[in-house]
Amino acid sequence: MASATALFSTTSLKAAGAPSYASVEGKLDPLLLGSLQRMGMELMTPVQSKVLAMPSLTSDCLVQAKTGTGKTVAFLLPAIQKLLTTTRRNGQVAVLILSPTRELALQIASEAQRLVEFPPGRKREIQVHTAFGGSARASYLNKFRNGDPAILVATPGRLKDYLEEADVRPKFDDMQTLILDEADRMLDAGFLPDVLHILRALPAKRQSGWQGMCFSATVPPKVKEVLSHVLDKNYTSISTIDASEPPTLEKVPQFSIIIPQAQDIFNTLLALVQFEVKSCKEESKIIIFGVTANSVALFAELFRGLIPLRIFELHSRLSQNVRTRTTDEFREASSGIMFATDVIGRGMDFPDVSLVVQAGLPMDADSYTHRVGRTARAGKDGRAVIILTNAEAFYVKVNRQFPIKPYPKSEDILGDVQAVAAVANRMQDIDPDLKRKAYSAYLGFMRPFEKKLQLDSAGLVQMANSLALKGMGCAEVPPVDKKIIGKMGLKGVPGLVYSKPSGNTSDQRGTSSRAANTNSTKRELEDDRDSGAHPTRRTAHQGPPGSLGNWDKADADLGRLGQQPGRGGGRAKTPKRRVPN
């Protein structure tokens, strides 16, 4: 099956008596039916069959469906059908799709491209364009200006940027369909102002009569605020979410390994992966989530010298070309280990993932859920393991809604002395600068958790220093820029080593601090809006709102949260987006 139907397999759809696409012959253009056949899509998932069963495929609709249920094809088919049966001016956008992340935008665009790859002889090619942060803006915008972008898949930040150009706005005058994908996630990630700005810049719905389609797993107040701008009052409401059905999460065996100290994360992770790979009867395809981009980079470099499996690495510090290539290669791979941040935590489908490991605290309960959801898809088996320190074990206790049990072989994993020796030897070959960046990012990430960890600032620094000296094998405590320490709120805390001024601002920007270059900061903040991080979301390790305080994960990664809101006599400010370290 195609990636859009990740939670379903042909076997499960047949068993459920799913209708075939042949049954909508006459409702869909033969060109589309031919594309579906070439894609190997014979049967419809529930969301696809319900959308195609609408009295009119041009109706506005609100569709509630989970990620991985085939919703991408569900909204593309009516949009492309309308595109095939109406006329439009050359160079005009007919179908606009808004997506919360660049990875998801690329996945949608890829699916759209497959659907419009018609046999030779068709008079007019249907071009699929993308617009997202992190790409070469000038070249993409020039291609958009000079091309015939019938279908545009965009993230809100970059599309808003495009619409600031006077010559770009008229390219949307003949828009036929507007689709909001993962609307709840998009608006929860802080894109509401951008989405409203975009809607104001587009042709007025009442005058132009474009079709609105909103796909969302949930319909919180933020989504309802947008619905009146996207959907007519008499829109069709569709839901494929069965309230009585056990969450997909409960079908995945979930385990925890509690390690004594933070420095034990490396050898524990190695021992766990080696044990799981050895125990797996089939090829191992594993995703390991880290808490910051720099920790992910360190994990990946460590494992490249210790595990025979191919190592993949994905986070916001990599160029978009690298991220796109890595995503495609891991999707096609039959085995390997992907080290990643939350840029792939939700919405991305990677077939046959047998194990998901979370190394450290997730940002919130929602992040945990969607990370686990990367495995046990399309009828396949999968497992999930979270590794926490003794101090972090509160996460399991306050999230009793998750069926997390102790890992059966925890004692063997924790007692693997060969893994300890292997990590220690490998760490000696790793660039000290990579360790320094991971150390600095760790300090910033853990700073907001001091109370939950029952630590003071000195205890936090001591924990991070042990991680560096005993876990990373650093010869000495890594130095941190004085400004960064100040922004963490750790100035004067014993145990920290201040780096000597080098005048090399590019090095500082490469670790944590972006304040030295305002223009660079602005660009990177925009890119981070599309990176998959959700910095405006409350860190809900369950418990009541405010139990951990409102905090910005991306800012934490940058080491900016030590300075508490309202300090210095000023009014507390809304956290700004930052690029995760």
**Mean pLDDT of residues grouped by 10 in the chain (581 residues)?**
53 86 93 93 94 94 86 96 92 96 90 92 83 84 94 95 94 96 84 93 92 90 90 93 59 93 97 93 90 95 94 89 90 94 76 93 82 77 94 92 93 96 96 96 93 94 97 96 93 92 44 34 30 36 32 31 32 36 38
* H or E element in which residue 81 lies: helix 71-85
Both tokens of 462, joined, read: 């001591």
* DSSP string of 82-93, one letter each residue: HHHHS---TT--
| pLDDT on residue 231 | 95
Residues 275 and 379 in one domain: yes
- Judge whether 432 lies within some domain: no
Report the distance separating Cα 67 and Cα 422, nearest Å. 39
Contact 107, 182 (CB under 8 A): no
Residue 580 within any structural domain of the chain? no
User: Are both 363 and 309 inside the same structural domain?
Assistant: yes
Rounded to an integer, what distance in angstroms lies between the CA atom of residue 327 and that of residue 338?
9
Task: Note the Cα 298 to chain centre separation in Å.
Answer: 20
Range of the domain at 551: 441-569
**Biggest CA pair distance of the chain:** 74
Answer with the one of 427, 453, 469 that is the final residue of a domain. 427
> Which string of b and e fits 17-36 if b means at least 16 CB within 10 Å?
ebeebeebeebbbebbbebb
Q: Angle formed by the axes of helices 320-332 and 102-115, to 10°? A: 60
Q: Spell out a b/e string for 470-499, using b for 16 or more CB atoms within 10 Å of the CB, else e.
A: ebbbbeebbebbebbbbbbbbeebeebeeb
CATH number at residue 379: 3.40.50.300
Same domain membership, residue 55 and residue 14: yes
Q: What is the per-residue DSSP string for 180-224?
A: ESSHHHHIIIIIHHHHHHHHHHSPPHHHH--EEEEE-S---HHHH
> Could you tell me if residue 419 is inside a domain?
yes
Alpha helices by DSSP H, listed for 100-136, are 102-115
Tell me: do 284 and 200 sit in the same domain: no
Do 211 and 107 lie in a common domain?
yes
Residue 162's contacts (CB-CB under 8 Å, 6 or more residues apart) are 131, 141, 144, 154, 168
CB 544 within 8 A of CB 115: no
The number of residues making up the chain comes to 581
Of 239, 260, 288, which marks where a domain is finished?
239
Question: Cα torsion for 239, 245, 250, 251, to the nearest 10°?
Answer: -100
Q: Can you give the pLDDT at residue 367?
A: 80
* Shared-domain flag, residues 50 and 113: yes
Count of helix runs (H) and strand runs (E) in the chain: 24, 14
Matching residue, tokens 């997202």: 132
Q: Answer yes or no: do 181 and 252 share one domain.
A: no
Residues 274 and 221 in one domain: no
Residue 86 lies in a domain: yes
| 154 located within any domain | yes
Q: What is the DSSP string of 449-466?
A: GTTTTT--HHHHHHHHHH
pLDDT at 248: 54
Considering the domain architecture, whether residues 88 and 136 belong to the same structural domain is answered as: yes
Q: Are residues 325 and 347 in the same domain?
A: yes
In a domain, 465, yes or no: yes
**Are 464 and 522 contained in the same domain?**
yes
Please tell me whether residues 415 and 466 are part of one structural domain: no
Nearest to 497 by CA among 482, 479, 481: 479
Q: Is residue 574 part of a domain?
A: no
Q: Please state the domain count of the chain.
A: 3
Give the residue from 427, 457, 473 where a domain finishes: 427
Q: Is residue 563 part of a domain?
A: yes
**Hey, which residues does 237 pair with through a beta bridge?**
62
pLDDT for the residue 565: 31
